[in-house]
Amino acid sequence: MLFNGKFQRNRMKIKKIENILSIIGKVDEKKRFYLFIGVLVFVFLLDYLILMRPQLSTLMKINPEINILSQDIKQTQDDLLKISFYKSEVDRLRKNIKEVNQMIRSKDEVPLILERISRLANQNSIKIDQIMPNTQGQEILLDNKEQKYFKLPVLVEARGGFHNLGRFLNTIENDKMIVTIVDFDITKLNETNTLAVRLTLEAVIFEEI
């Protein structure tokens, strides 16, 4: 009896399917096409409502977080580039400071500065009559825990030709020593092409504390 009941139900289902197919078969080709399109639309809507809609809702919720994360990543990349730039600048400044420190003489090396000025004068055919540091006129430039830096005036009296004198002054300004020309006074000696010059130079020196 149970088997017969299942058999009867299956026959009814098959008969319903046959009836549906029979109805579809009676519909003309154009209407069948529209029917097929309608079924596809129905399936798509069903898929959207059951599967895609929850996923889209989840994506919409996490989209702001994705945008924030993208901005954070970009900011981090920019910061890394800045760090690299700052590091290269620090290295460059350290190198410059090292080079400058090598050019600055200590207070005990003032005679070397005077000797250097005399040598530059001799190379440019300038005769030094007098060269003297003015220790009374020195000024403190920087005072830290390890060293004091001073600006030391150096007075120079010399003689030479016009072109030689110009080369001498230019050589001093471009020399590796940190010496600058602060003031100068040039006079022409009587009935000669020789010029007399009085220079005030400033040398940067340091003293260990």
Chain segment 12-60, per-residue pLDDT in tens: 655 655 555 565 555 555 555 666 666 666 666 655 555 555 665 665 6
How far is the C-alpha of 198 from the C-alpha of 188, rounded, in Å?
12
- Name the CA dihedral angle for 182, 109, 164, 186, rounded to a multiple of 10 degrees: 30
> What would the pLDDT profile of 98-135 be if each residue is shown by its tens digit?
666 667 778 888 898 899 999 999 999 999 999 999 88
pLDDT at site 145? 76
Does the pTM of the predicted model rise above 0.75? no
Tell me which residue of 177, 120, 184 sits closest to 155, measured CA to CA: 184
The number of C-alpha atoms within 13 Å of 130 and in the hemisphere containing its C-beta is 10
Q: Characterize 122-138 residue by residue with b for buried, 16 or more Cβ atoms within 10 angstroms of its Cβ, and e for exposed.
A: eebebebeebebeeeeb
The CA–CA distances, whole Å, from 185 to 16, 17, 113, 160, 209 equal 124, 121, 21, 13, 37
DSSP 135: G
DSSP 138: -
Question: Tokens for 96?
Answer: 């410059």
Q: Characterize 79-115 residue by residue with b for buried, 16 or more Cβ atoms within 10 angstroms of its Cβ, and e for exposed.
A: eeeeeeeeeeeeeeeeeeeeeeeeeebeeeebeebbe
Lowest mean pLDDT among 85-94, 111-120, 151-160, 161-170: 85-94
SS3 letters across 17-76: HHHHHHHHHHCCHHHHHHHHHHHHHHHHHHHHHHHHHHHHHHHHHHHHHHHHHHHHHHHH
Does 7 or 190 have the greater pLDDT score?
190
The three-state secondary structure class of 190 is coil
Question: Tokens for 6?
Answer: 């299942």
How far is the C-alpha of 4 from the C-alpha of 7, rounded, in Å?
5
